[in-house]
Each structure stands twice: as C-alpha cells, then as structure tokens.
Amino acid sequence: MWRKGFLPPGKNDGSMACVSIEGFMLRAPLLPPPLEPGFRPAALACRAFAAEASVPVCIALEQADGSVFHFTKHILPPHHAAAGCNFFYLERLLKFLLWSRGGFRVYFDGPPDLGARLERYFKETATGRFDADIMGERIYERPFTVVTTKDLPPPRATTTPLGRHWKGCRIGFDLGASDRKAAAVQEGRAVFSEETVWNPVPQADPQWHFDQIMDSLKRAAEHLPRVDAIGGSAAGVYVNNRVRVASLFRGVPAPLFQTRVNTLFLELKRAWGGIPFEVVNDGEVTALAGSMALEQDAVLGIAMGSSLAAGFVTPEGNITSWLNELAFAPVDYNPAAPVDEWSGDHGCGAQFFSQQCLGRWLPAAGLETPAGLPLPEQLKHVQALMEKGDERAEKIYHTIGVCFGYGVAHYAEFYDFKHILVLGRVTTGRGGDVILRHAKEVLRVEFPELAGRIAFHVPEEKDKRHGQAIAAASLPAT
C-alpha cells in the first residue's frame, strides 16, 4: 500500500518533507510542531484530497436504537494518478466516523471493490478487528457488519437535554485514570470538592473499584444534610448506567467485567437507596460544563487528561447519541505516527492531546525523569519546570498546541460548533496558555475561515480540575 515517500516505522523525524500514500502526498504543516516533525495533519490531507475528488460516495452508520447517520463525501476518479489512496482515505474517514458517532452496521454506497476492501479490513486486520469488536459486541451488542448497497436506510437521529438540574442536595463525581473527583452541591452551589489520586487501570478486583468510588461519595455526603441525587462522569461508554467499554476497568478479567463491572453503577445506586443516579461519558459532561459556564450552545468540549475526552452540545442545546470518543479518532495521517497502546492504530487523538504524549516528547525536549515514573508524575515535573520558565518544558506545550490547532480544524469537518472548551490536567498552569496560543495561531495561518468562527474558552483553574464533577451533579432529574 505504501509507496515511495513513506517514512519507515520509528523514523518519524521529519527528514522528508512529504509522505506519499499511493501517490497522494501528505503535506507538512506550515507551522510544524517542534517535537513531532513527522506530523502530517489529517485536516490538511482531507482538504487536499477533497480538492481533487469528484466521485460521490455515501456512508451510513446504524446504531442499536435505530439511529442512522448519513455522510456524503467524494473520492478520486479511477483514472486519477493517486486513485489507489481512495481506500486509505475511506478507512481513515470511517474510523473517525465510528469513534465520533458510533454504529454496529456500516452501509457503503460506492465502488463495490472499495466496499469489499472495507469489509475485509474489519475482519482481517488487527486495528479493524479492534474497532469492529468494540463497536459491535461491546457497545451495541450486535455483530459488526459492512454492507455495500445503494439502498441506504433513511437518516434518523434523536437529541435529548442533558443535566442542568440543580434542585436539592446532590453529589457529582468524575472518574479519570489518574485521579477521581467528587463534589457536594446544594441548590446549585458547590459546598465541597475533593480530588483523590488513584490507579484503577491495573486493578483486577471489581470490589476495589466499588469501594474507591463509594469512599469518594461518602466523603462528599458528609458535607450535605442529605443526598437527593448522584451524577457521575467517567471515561468510557455507558448505556443506561451500564458500563460498555471503559479503560478504567481494563485490568478486570472479561468474565468479571460482564458479571460485576457491567452493573457496577446500578449496584452503587442500590447502595444509596435507589435515589436518582446517572452516569455518562466524561466528554459529554465536559461539553455540558462548558455550555452552562458560557451560557452558550454549539460547544465542543475537550478534556486533556490521562486520555482524551470529548463531548458535544448541539446548537439547540442538546446532546446526541454519538459516542464522541475522539481519543481513538485519527488526527495524524502519517503511517509512522505514534501508535495507540490499546487499539494499536496510528495517529489517534489520545497520543497528542493527553498525558500520553509526555513520555514520548520528554527525551526530544531534552528532559529526563526517573525510569518508570508514572505519567501523572511526569506531568507534574513538566508543569513545575514550566512555572520556572523552562524552555524545554515550553516546547512540549508548544507541540501540543500546534497539533491541537490542526486537530480542531479536523474536528470542525464533523461537528457544528462555535465554541470549544479546553480543560483537563494537561492544561493546568502556564502550559495551558501556551497550548491555546499556538492552536489559535494554526487556525489564523492555515484555516482563517475557522479562526473567525471558533472561540476558544478555558475555565477557571479550579474548574479545569473540578468543573466536571460539579456539572455531573446536575445530571439526574429529581
């Protein structure tokens, strides 16, 4: 598949100006990220591709509740010198659509040979099988299929209000991979918030997870006269308070996951007497917190923490049934881009907009940390250096910011947002200002039409860390 111009794996050093995929050149950015010279933004690749594409194709994604989402794009005509890259373009596009929207069945109205290749990709490749397994059996509990047909089901989508309930005494919690947060909220006013360091990913015993979460809930309850409702924000996919996919519980063996983790939050609800209890993806709560704080809709929320979380509030002020798991959505099309440790795929968002990029960029920045130092501690080290004005630390934030600017431009192809809220542990301190400065510069230089349309927002420093837990308290209706 790869022709002359491909950077060999492990040699993502920017020594070649362009990377070629079946004759199609991936352009280097005008503003290169200093510590990721091989970065080839998906946004630039897709725009260059679209400028030469003329053959329409339509993709529809179907979810278990009957929702169907349509997308019409164009590919290169068969006689085009780079027509061989049509499959690469469609596969990357479909991966983004699956992780942003979700679906267990893909309908493809396009050239049959490309439809057949897509079907084989999800059956025969490791990265394709990962997506198919997560989307099919794990999330939607249906076999994952690709259907090549001109008879697509009609579009069908639903949106619903999210949160904004403040009556009574409430607890909100936010579960991340390096810390968990809890807040006590009385009649819309936060009277207590707390952050507790934990390490849930390697823990194999579901009871450990139950006890840790319960501990935070009890500590928050001590600051309220009673508890009327509990709302939670957590990394992963949750359907009706059931855990479908969540990296927090990766250490739990599959049989225990199905028998105990799947219903963990229902068990917690019973332990609190059956009061209203609602758990949703942390990205959705990120967007909710931003929408409430800004008193605006059409908000894309991005939380840069142990991984990347995203959520979207529509221009009408609602949420959709979309997944918004942008941690797995590709933003770098260089086939030598960093590999995601879970999916095994290249160029995914979590490798650029979370703590996960630190370990990769520390040596390139000329910084050393003790061997085996956990990512949260590496981040603290970089943040401490940043507060001292260390130029090496600033290069890391500079790199995140440039990559993020190109990432925002790519997100704008799939989301109708006017506001983007940026928060999470990675953005804490002076580094967050550097990230936003360079992201805005990318839009100004490469995407001026977006620079005038999209407003960046950053919450107050405490809200960056605790705002999601507080917003989560408003999730359950009472």
Condensed to tens digits (0 to 9), the pLDDT of residues 70-119 reads 999 999 999 999 999 999 999 999 999 999 999 999 999 999 999 999 99
Q: Where are the alpha helices (DSSP H) in 367-429?
A: 375-387, 391-411
Which residues, including other chains, have CB under 8 Å from residue 255's CB and lie 6 or more apart? none
Q: In the structure encoding, which two tokens stand for residue 94, read together?
A: 């479909």
Contact 26, 334 (CB under 8 A): yes
In this predicted structure, what is the pLDDT of residue 461? Answer: 60
Is the predicted pLDDT of residue 465 greater than 80, yes or no? no
Rounded Cα gap, residues 83 and 76, in angstroms? 5
- Is 25 in a helix, a strand, or coil? strand
pLDDT confidence of residue 289: 82
pLDDT classification of 304: cutoffs 50, 70, 90: very high
Chain mean pLDDT for the chain: 91
Which residues are CB-neighbours of 314 under 8 A, at least 6 positions away? Answer: 159, 297, 298, 320, 416
Between CA 76 and CA 156 the distance in angstroms is 29
- Stretch 416-441: mean pLDDT: 94
pLDDT, one tens digit per residue, over 276-299 is 999 998 888 888 888 888 889 999
CA gap 343, 362 in Å, rounded: 23
Given a cut of 60, whether residue 14 has pLDDT beyond it is no
Mapped onto helix, strand or coil, the DSSP state of residue 34 is coil
> Which residues does residue 145 pair with via DSSP β-bridges, in sequence order?
105
**pLDDT in the model for residue 4:** 29
32-55 pLDDT tens trace: 999 999 999 999 999 999 999 999
Instruction: Pick the closest to residue 314 from 282, 356, 284, 334 (CA basis).
Output: 284
**What tens digit of pLDDT does each residue of 316-374 get?**
888 888 999 999 999 999 999 999 988 999 999 999 999 999 889 999 999 988 888 98
Long-range Cβ contacts of 123-126 (<8 Å, 24+ apart):
126/344
Residue 399 phi/psi, 5° resolution?
-65, -45
pLDDT, greater one: 461 or 275: 275
Helix/strand/coil for 128: helix
Task: Provide mean pLDDT across the span 381-392.
Answer: 95
Residue 159 has pLDDT above 70, yes or no: yes
Q: 392-414, pLDDT tens digit by residue?
A: 999 999 999 999 999 999 999 99
Three-state SS at 12: coil
The rounded distance, in Å, linking the Cα atoms of 135 and 143 is 9
Residue 13: predicted pLDDT: 43
Long-range (24+ apart) CB contacts under 8 A made by 439-442 are 439/401, 439/402, 439/404, 439/405, 439/408, 440/405, 441/31, 441/401, 441/402, 441/405, 442/29, 442/31, 442/401, 442/402, 442/404, 442/405, 442/406, 442/408, 442/409
Find where tokens 């579960």 sit.
175
Length of the chain: 478
Helix, strand, coil share (%) of the chain residues, nearest 5: 40, 20, 40
**What distance in Å separates the CA atoms of residue 388 and residue 335, rounded to the nearest whole number?**
36
Asked whether residue 463 carries a pLDDT value surpassing 90, the answer given is no
Report the DSSP pairing between strands 237-239 and 179-186: unpaired
| Nearest Cα to Cα of residue 442 among 411, 395, 402 | 402
Nearest-angstrom CA–CA distance, 19 and 24: 8
Average pLDDT over residues 443-455: 97
pTM of the model: 0.86
* pLDDT at residue 334, rounded to an integer: 95
